[in-house]
Amino acid sequence: MQFVITAYDGKGMLEKRMEVRPKHLANMSQIKGKVLCAGGLLDEEGKMKGSVMVMEFADRETFDEYLKSEPYITEHIWEDVKVETMNVVLLNGEKYAK
């Protein structure tokens, strides 16, 4: 199952986000086979204000277990997190879905 995570940082979190970012990236590298796409959302000034990730896990329960270890959640960076299931059809211009 693929999941799209759209997460917005709490107000005034940019400095703390940058402090926690190495933990976030290390965590992501441990599950790199599960990350299809990930990046920071930018405000009008080009500063990070949140994240979007497309990830693949066997099921929602396994995905929820990952979220419990996500540093931007455990360190309270993300304030508004939305998760939706997705059917990835193309990845890097190549057919992905069955």
Strand partners of residue 3:
55, 85
Residue 27 near residue 70, CB atoms below 8 Å = yes
Residue 28 near residue 42, CB atoms below 8 Å = no
Predicted local distance difference test score (pLDDT) of residue 74: 97
- The domain total for the chain is 1
For the question of whether the overall pTM of this predicted structure is more than 0.85, the answer is yes
The residue range of the domain holding 84 is 2-95
Per residue in 18-52, pLDDT (tens digit) is 999 999 999 999 998 899 999 999 999 999 999 99
Tokens representing 49?
Answer: 């204000």
DSSP class of residue 33 equals G
CATH number at residue 34: 3.30.70.1060
Per residue in 37-91, pLDDT (tens digit) is 999 999 999 999 999 999 999 999 999 999 999 999 999 999 999 999 999 998 8
In which element (H, E) is residue 14 found?
Answer: helix 14-30
